[in-house]
Structure 1
Amino acid sequence: MIRVVIVDDDRLVTESLKTILEASEEITVTGTGHSASEAVSLFLQERPDVLLSDIRMGESTGIQAAKEILRQVPDAVILLLTTFSDDDYIREALELGVKGYLIKQNLSAIVPAIRAVSNGQSVFGTEIVGKLNEFIHQPSSSSEKPKCIELSEREEAILLAVANGKNNKEIAQSLFLSEGTVRNYISQLLDKCQVRDRTQLAIFYYQEYQ
């Protein structure tokens, strides 16, 4: 069962999302909130598998909540949901290591997205994907791009698979490896590329190989 916390400043939206998610037999909603501060406190209290959070919430944002959560729990899985397709938000979400960013109107994509991020994949809606190549090559707020050194052919194959959104099981099957071996390779890649997670590995691939 995938445990989810939902945070949106519109209470009707929160209840609607809860209804949609709990219609799936594989998801349970363990808490709901309506502000960025509640997002942080609920996540730390419930430790859900996925936090589903709106972006714009009054005086604060889901980005600020994500930043604080990831500071305390670096492996937190956060899926941002918004009505705003804003480049600055998308770029900041990517740099933080948020696992997904979806446009709120695409309700049919929310359950599959939660399923995917809970399995270690990164998910971005079609509206977002269309912009990735445009701003991923623009200078970011980071001082310098990370550089990988001396990647083996196998490491490059695994990096490509991560960039394509494959989880460890799918990578293992396609490359005839065990899942434990794939995990070890990904740990090596994170270290070599000096990045924090799979999302940033995917970004690195698009920066260096596209």
Structure 2
Amino acid sequence: MSIKLVIADDDALIRESLKIILSYDKEIEVVDTFENGKDLVGFLLKKNIDIALVDVRMPLLNGVKATLEISKNTNTKVIILTTFDEDEYIREGIKNGAKGYLLKNTNPDKIIETIKLVNKGIAVIQEEILSKISSNLMASVNRKEQLDKSLFTERELDVMEAISEGLNNKEIGKKLFISEGTVKNYITSILQKTDLTHRTQIAIYYIKKMDM
């Protein structure tokens, strides 16, 4: 069964380009496109759609607010399209239930891969986006004070912070002066304590908690 998908972007060229590109994949069916969030939400309230690829800046209802309505009232999973100057919208998108975040200049193969992962229930944040919003947030808040420290060891908090900065296991090990195997053990422990299943979800969890 194909993945039923809709596209929302106020730029007609982007809408049609995405429609053409995504339609080449036999597992994806582009059902419709929209130029604003209001029409998108209205459609999704009536139709059973798997994935909505949503621009942030749109007339009538922006992508972040549309994401909240979609997440609250439908089973559609939202993937937000963004640019580097929209990190504040990304944080709101996380709170509002978006399951994926992509830059508009993302390689088409990566977009298709993200759609398929999100459809399977795996949250995906592009590394460049995660690194940017994490660094901006670190400049203004003390992350650890926003978390319930009683749930985690100090080292686990360090690992969560590093994950939210977009570091891989090797980079985390180098930063914390521990082995990659030890990093993996900490990640396993964190996943068990939070009932999460993926390192990207750890990053989302951490950013949510410290931005509350």
Same fold per superposition (TM over 0.5): yes
Amino acid at match of 1:8: D
* 1:26-60 deviation digits (Å, cap 9, x = unpaired): 10011211101011012222221111011111343
- The whole-number CA distance in structure 1 between the counterparts of 2:49 and 2:208 is 32
- The whole-number CA distance in structure 1 between the counterparts of 2:208 and 2:4 is 33
Q: For residue 76 of structure 2, what is the aligned residue in structure 1?
A: 76
1:16: Cα distance to partner? 1.1
- The whole-number CA distance in structure 2 between the counterparts of 1:119 and 1:27 is 13
What is the aligned length? 176
SS at structure 1 position matched to 2:79:
strand
* Equivalent residue runs for 1:16-165 within 5 Å: 16-73=17-74, 75-108=75-108, 109-135=110-136, 137=138, 139=141, 145=146, 147=148
* 1:97-133 deviation digits (Å, cap 9, x = unpaired): 2111111111422111111111111112232022243
Q: For residue 154 of structure 1, what is the aligned residue in structure 2?
A: none
Contact 1:5 1:42 in 2 (8 A): no
Contact 2:77 2:98 in 1 (8 A): yes
- The whole-number CA distance in structure 2 between the counterparts of 1:50 and 1:80 is 11
- The whole-number CA distance in structure 2 between the counterparts of 1:31 and 1:207 is 32
Bigger Cα Rg? 2
Q: For residue 12 of structure 1, what is the aligned residue in structure 2?
A: 13
Contact 2:3 2:50 in 1 (8 A): yes
* 1:45-103 deviation digits (Å, cap 9, x = unpaired): 22211110111113431111111112223x53100113353221121112222111111
1:203: Cα distance to partner? 2.7
- The whole-number CA distance in structure 2 between the counterparts of 1:31 and 1:145 is 41
Q: TM-score, normalised by structure 2?
A: 0.66
SS at structure 2 position matched to 1:14:
helix
The 1:28–1:207 alpha-carbon spacing in structure 2 relative to 1, beyond 3 Å, is closer
Return 5+ residue gaps in structure 1 as ranges. 152-158, 165-184
- The whole-number CA distance in structure 1 between the counterparts of 2:56 and 2:151 is 39
- The whole-number CA distance in structure 2 between the counterparts of 1:47 and 1:136 is 36
- The whole-number CA distance in structure 1 between the counterparts of 2:149 and 2:41 is 33
Q: TM-score, normalised by structure 1?
A: 0.66
The 1:206–1:52 alpha-carbon spacing in structure 2 relative to 1, beyond 3 Å, is closer
SS at structure 2 position matched to 1:57:
coil
- The whole-number CA distance in structure 1 between the counterparts of 2:115 and 2:54 is 12
